[in-house]
Structure 1
Amino acid sequence: MVVLSNEIRWFFGAIKRADAEKQLLYSENQTGAFLIRESESDKGNFALSVLVDRAVKHYKIRRLDEGGFFLTRKRTFTTLNEFVDYYTQTSGGLCVKLGKPCLKIQIPAPFDLSYKTADQWEIDRNSVQLLKRLGSGQFGEVWEGLWNNTTPVAVKTLKPGSMDPNDFLREAQIMKNLRHPKLIQLYAVCTLEDPIYIITELMRHGSLQEYLQNDAGLKIQLTQQVDMAAQVASGMAYLESQNYIHRDLAARNVLVGEHNIYKVADFGLARVFKVDNEDIYESRHEIKLPVKWTAPEAIRANKFSIKSDVWSFGILLYEIITYGKIPYSGMTGAQVIQMLSQNYRLPQPSNCPQQFYNIMLECWNAEPKERPKFETLYWKLEGYFETDSFYSDADDFIG
């Protein structure tokens, strides 16, 4: 058993791979910043995570039978301290020489005012101040707001006539009780007059669709794209466990917060809203659907299930890997429906790894029951890079 002092700045303990990347990608860390953590996939062993040009590389640290550690058997070390000392002097087969230990950043949890509104579901709209318009969508506008002059919140102001208030309140009561770190938390509502307000936690960077399009790939690389997908899959796996269906999963309905946090939003709202955005929601048997994101069985027979959400997740993966491109570009909804009936699938984007595309194809299985569970998708994405591949002499490079 290896015992390491908590005072060692480069040892982060049982931190997850995705969390290690968030820590290293923090703006004050520079190339060469590193940390050593307990391996997720190989219990009892360690992994080295290193920042290189705003990307993170990961290496498995192997153990010798007689004790000691190594990346390549050409160079072994009695202790992890010796290991770090050596690789701070020379790269020795690593992608870069180790620099300063990663800064330990406390990533704050969003302030949760649920407990304050537990017995006050309907709140006074005068307690909510609208500060800054963040965007607009098919249901209305989204504002950054302040509740009781103290708590930052997001406020969705709904277009008059966009839904039946009684239907919404029934659905919203269910939504409020759905609590998971990767779901937007619904706090309260103002429904007694128009426009109706929906009060939620604040995500300052807006929708994932806009975030992807605005960055245009300049800062986002595959490691971040996989992390986005894994976080969304985590939230959807929770909805799956609660037997709850989203019905409108897409990049426009995922929100981006500080420190690369991504959360699923607007789950359940498609059930009660009367949408009028003809660019996205097209009439199909008098029901408006986001056809390019909707599973074939849901288009044909209005048959929604968690498996139709899995299909939509495959389209969301396409949006992520193409930096927010609209799927089936240049095709109308009617053309998409016709092509899907002939087993057409979106082609593999030029920058999309085969491993990532294979996950998309699994989501688009024509038979709903053959599509993977969100729990399975989450573990596939969380462990996406956890396979060995050769890198110079370091045969345990896994990044």
Structure 2
Amino acid sequence: MIWAEFSDSLKWFFGAIRRSDAEKQLLYSKNKTGAFLIRESESQKGEFSLSVLDGGVVKHYRIRRLDEGGFFLTRRITFSTLNEFVSHYTKTSDGLCVKLGKPCLKIQVPAPFDLSYKTVDQWEIDRNSIQLLKRLGSGQFGEVWEGLWNNTTPVAVKTLKPGSMDPRDFLREAQIMKNLRHPKLIQLYAVCTLEDPIYIITELMRHGSLQEYLQSDAGSKIHLTQQVDIAAQVASGMAYLESRNYIHRDLAARNVLVGEHNIYKVADFGLARVFKVDNEDIYESKHEIKLPVKWTAPEAIRTNKFSIKSDVWSFGILLYEIITYGKMPYSGMTGAQVIQMLAQNYRLPQPSNCPQQFYNIMLECWNAEPKERPTFETLHWKLEDYFETDSSYSDANNFIR
């Protein structure tokens, strides 16, 4: 491994953490100006990034590697090891925003209690073991509740309207879903299917759907940095599904959930093919397959054939939702009108508050040719490195460009 030279004693080395997670760590109240960490670059394999706290703002620098080994920010001065690099910049800022101080303090975000190990051989749990406490939201398929399992464990409970799915179809899909485990995917714990309403029990995300959050007072206060972070977290979960050859089929803000500590996770993956839906925003094809047309790729509308590339199209629509604070895409247009416009190569226009760089990513997702759309892995690193400073130096003044 490229970091084999590092020992556990190097408190400043944080390994493969995300840019946004580095910021959260550095902005922890006990860190002071000059606090820093070094992390692996996701987009540039074999390279590293330096993240530094400067008066309440986190700044990032790309640490480049020499062909013959060693590291540098500017070719004016190079280092054989990262230890030497850190030693130098703790003595002088030498062009950095500040001189490096103490290594960043590590804080741990608590992981949700996972009861799935208790239900690994018993999918179906006793309905009486679930207590519904507070309704978090509702939709076309039913309601979502905050609940308690066995009077001890907080969980989320999705209650499905009678007739919204065939329990046998769902259980087949759930068997696959339970084996998909990633920090940016909602973990499925257990089910209650022996009577209506069907219960789907998952980890709890207290702030509800991303769609509702974006439209709320709290959501209206976020800005581009947080919006890009949301998109990057969703792309991370989707990149995992991509690596497992699994398709979501209904990626949208309504199917992303918001938890504590600015955590966002993809939910309801796989359920689209077992739901029996009936809604005016759903397009019903001649094969009687119903689609959320405003989020669905044109080729999936035409042929009913879904792929990870049709999920990428939907991700582009999700980016539109994020940047517009939950605005309905193709507002004022019916599903039939959207289909007609897409056939004429129409695309959602650039929102007034949307940077060109962000809109370009959306347009890549909406390439008419599915094969030309980016992978979720590519989308993930593009969003992770969206604000990454290119640490080229001006030798004249040693400031970052």
**Given that residues 69 and 83 in structure 1 are in contact (C-alpha distance below 8 angstroms), is that contact kept between their aligned partners in structure 2?**
no
Q: Report the counterpart of residue 320 of structure 1 in structure 2.
A: 322
Aligned pairs for 1:1-399 (under 5 A) are 11-18=12-19, 19-26=21-28, 28=29, 32=33, 34-40=35-41, 47-51=49-53, 56-60=58-62, 80-81=86-87, 83-84=89-90, 86-87=92-93, 102-214=104-216, 215-222=218-225, 224-278=226-280, 280-285=281-286, 286-386=288-388, 388=390, 393-394=397-398, 396=400
Which 10-residue stretch deviates more, 330-339 or 376-385?
A: 376-385
**Cα 1:266–1:33, aligned 2, differ >3 Å: closer, same or farther?**
farther
Return the alpha-carbon distance in structure 2 between the equivalents of residues 55 and 81 of structure 1: 23
Return the alpha-carbon distance in structure 2 between the equivalents of residues 284 and 340 of structure 1: 16
**Cα 1:95–1:367, aligned 2, differ >3 Å: closer, same or farther?**
same
Amino acid at match of 1:219: I
**Cα 1:207–1:33, aligned 2, differ >3 Å: closer, same or farther?**
farther
Return the alpha-carbon distance in structure 1 between the equivalents of residues 37 and 203 of structure 2: 33
Which 10-residue stretch deviates more, 296-305 or 340-349?
A: 296-305
Return the alpha-carbon distance in structure 1 between the equivalents of residues 272 and 108 of structure 2: 36
Shift of 1:108: 2.5
Once superposed, what is the RMSD of the aligned Cα atoms? 3.4
**Given that residues 69 and 80 in structure 1 are in contact (C-alpha distance below 8 angstroms), is that contact kept between their aligned partners in structure 2?**
no
Amino acid at match of 1:314: G
**Cα 1:96–1:267, aligned 2, differ >3 Å: closer, same or farther?**
same
**Cα 1:168–1:17, aligned 2, differ >3 Å: closer, same or farther?**
closer
Return the alpha-carbon distance in structure 2 between the equivalents of residues 371 and 45 of structure 1: 26
SS at 2:320's partner residue?
A: helix
**Given that residues 152 and 202 in structure 1 are in contact (C-alpha distance below 8 angstroms), is that contact kept between their aligned partners in structure 2?**
yes
**Cα 1:220–1:197, aligned 2, differ >3 Å: closer, same or farther?**
same
User: 1:168-216 deviations in whole A, cap 9, x for unaligned?
Assistant: 2222222222222221111110011111100011112211222222234
SS at 2:146's partner residue?
A: strand
SS at 1:259's partner residue?
A: helix
Count of residue pairs the alignment pairs up: 389
With the length of structure 2 as denominator, give the TM-score of the two structures.
Answer: 0.83
**Given that residues 33 and 56 in structure 2 are in contact (C-alpha distance below 8 angstroms), is that contact kept between their aligned partners in structure 1?**
no
SS at 1:114's partner residue?
A: helix
Which 10-residue stretch deviates more, 299-308 or 312-321?
A: 299-308
Return the alpha-carbon distance in structure 1 between the equivalents of residues 282 and 56 of structure 2: 38
Which 10-residue stretch deviates more, 212-221 or 303-312?
A: 212-221
Shift of 1:369: 2.2
User: 1:230-271 deviations in whole A, cap 9, x for unaligned?
Assistant: 222222222223332211100110112222222111011111
* Unmatched 5+ stretches in structure 1: none
User: 1:258-313 deviations in whole A, cap 9, x for unaligned?
Assistant: 222221110111111122343x4344444432111011112223222222111101
Shift of 1:348: 1.9
Return the alpha-carbon distance in structure 1 between the equivalents of residues 353 and 392 of structure 2: 21
* Unmatched 5+ stretches in structure 2: none
With the length of structure 1 as denominator, give the TM-score of the two structures.
Answer: 0.84
SS at 2:145's partner residue?
A: strand
Shift of 1:81: 4.5
Shift of 1:45: 6.6
**Given that residues 154 and 200 in structure 1 are in contact (C-alpha distance below 8 angstroms), is that contact kept between their aligned partners in structure 2?**
yes
Which 10-residue stretch deviates more, 135-144 or 33-42?
A: 33-42
**Given that residues 34 and 102 in structure 2 are in contact (C-alpha distance below 8 angstroms), is that contact kept between their aligned partners in structure 1?**
yes
**Given that residues 138 and 277 in structure 1 are in contact (C-alpha distance below 8 angstroms), is that contact kept between their aligned partners in structure 2?**
yes
Amino acid at match of 1:346: L
